[in-house]
Structure 1
């Protein structure tokens, strides 16, 4: 009987410990095969197996500990993966945990995180377009970051990465549908002219309607440490507004972004799109986006049309065709099919 009590007590202690400290392993694995063509002079279509087109594959570890009184300690470590080659995809700073690496405290006051954390321009960017964070097919993502293999330099508007390294991030709790966030990356240098980089974001959600507004003031930080210098490549100010409305039969999306560059021509980006469920498991996606430099400069337009089909709760297959037209260059068409599995 005494032994049974000891075993029962040990089991209860183990359960209590598990409730206080939880570590999760999760991620997504995506791969694509298709015909890809860039909108550059003389470009020819190339058939290849690729990854990171619909969503960049990643592996993540996260954990939390209940500190009592509604307070929690949290951590996140996430790395991007290249499914086609088995390699790791670093962030702009060349680091292994390129998708996220931060430690945080959260509670009734909201959340405060230190480390690499998603920037509001990225989170609102993927929230308000039907292709989400797709670096290959979303006009918004390609015009923001030019990371997909379908496009090229015309989309490199933002000089910052999707997540800010060396950052201090605060997120408010949601009150009556409103939420806000503030992200600051110290200049980490005493060099003359260097400044902190700051992003402020606010969002509102009410039923079928959602909207988000972000403002960024980023310094190039080339004189700071290597990570900051490569993650903040431009000195620029960016204002971005996005919204969506779900009508039931179709969900509409819209975005407009203005980019003010200190040493280059200013830029504008807009996107309109829609997603429409056509079966219980299938959704049609459509998005049109345009990037252009002001004062009569270059223009890049992208139209993507796709179909995504859920074959289980965690696995989907898709087919997408994308058309890109760059000023004074013949239009390029690309087509791909792929599969994505979340775990």
Structure 2
């Protein structure tokens, strides 16, 4: 009996020691808003209509999600890490934006970190998404951020208006391996690779590559990104290769923080390799503290699209203004307005505009 008690005590001590070395947390972000939302509808015969609805919606400032993350100290400066994150709709309780139907559609990765930097395997944010949410006042908002709307949720292609985004991939890359350097005097860099992993006809699923570099020093932050991709994360369709690059910068003057972005997105024909389309995007914004707990947000972005074999160009212009107030460290409220306008030279697309106004609450945990 005494020996059994010793064994139980030793096992308990070992479990306590393991728990001390490992950390697991549950976290997330919930966002819900009430407002008036206008959206574009293309009827396929050369006309755009604007449809308006009043609704309670989820994820206006950032898409709601729940996540689990953990780490374990392996000794010698080496650490194991993981994260599992799932998008959710605060208004309905359903799943949203989970790529390819995966429950852990926001993130699912495991990796090792140490003095060498960090190596991550699984689904992980791609560098273009990081550039997008870091250098605009509305962050990763798929409603009010001009870069997020242009890159991930809207297209001006006259043959498939509004059906696809300018970027041919989602915010994260599945089946990827990512290496992030340690911070070297404010400089960091990352390499990302997502292999083809398929054969037998799905030519759209090709190798993806990304390289990025950033510098952060006090109030200054800059970032550059290049991606070369051929994967279609929304379907198994045969799609062309994209070659994209972008720049982002911000400077915090104290009385305001200026943020800017520029990007070019080029799509090439899957068979001939010729350039099919080119999108040029810029965004300039500012965050202005007006109270110790409140910020005014301003952002203007413009996307110019050109298509091979089609005369003229078209532009998507978006202006957003908002006020975000922190009620506590984890809870806040916001009010925001955005106007999207289409200016087109194409016969197939008429000019039109759409407005969005919303009042919302956000909570992180």
TM-score over 0.5 (shorter chain): yes
Pick closer, same or farther for the CA change 1:244–1:134 going to 2, 3 Å. same
The answer (yes or no) to whether the contact 1:93–1:231 under 8 Å persists in 2 is no
SS at match of 1:144: helix
TM-score by length of 2: 0.85
- Pick from 313, 320, 338 the counterpart of residue 297 of structure 1: 313
- Pick from 301, 314, 336 the counterpart of residue 320 of structure 1: 336
- Pick from 166, 169, 172 the counterpart of residue 175 of structure 2: 166
Moved more, 262-271 or 307-316: 262-271
Q: How does 1:168-187 map to 2 (within 5 A)?
A: 168-187=177-196
**Structure 2 residue 197 is matched with structure 1 residue 188:** yes
Unaligned 5+ residue runs, structure 2?
42-47, 156-160, 270-275, 344-349
- Pick from 314, 327, 332 the counterpart of residue 354 of structure 2: 332
Partner of 1:104: 111
Per-residue CA deviation, residues 100-138 of structure 1 (Å, 9 max, x unaligned), is 001101111111111100001001110000100111110
Give the deviation of 1:39 after TM superposition: 3.9
The answer (yes or no) to whether the contact 2:250–2:257 under 8 Å persists in 1 is yes
The answer (yes or no) to whether the contact 1:39–1:325 under 8 Å persists in 2 is no
Give the deviation of 1:332 after TM superposition: 1.6
**Structure 2 residue 285 is matched with structure 1 residue 273:** yes
Partner of 1:236: 242
Distance in 1 (alpha carbons) for counterparts of 2:260 and 2:54: 32
The answer (yes or no) to whether the contact 1:168–1:184 under 8 Å persists in 2 is yes
- Pick from 78, 85, 97 the counterpart of residue 85 of structure 2: 78
Give the deviation of 1:190 after TM superposition: 4.3
The answer (yes or no) to whether the contact 2:190–2:212 under 8 Å persists in 1 is yes
Distance in 2 (alpha carbons) for counterparts of 1:332 and 1:311: 31
Partner of 1:287: 299
The answer (yes or no) to whether the contact 2:70–2:83 under 8 Å persists in 1 is yes
TM-score by length of 1: 0.90
Give the deviation of 1:8 after TM superposition: 9.2
Distance in 2 (alpha carbons) for counterparts of 1:258 and 1:145: 14
SS at match of 1:65: strand
The answer (yes or no) to whether the contact 1:33–1:50 under 8 Å persists in 2 is yes
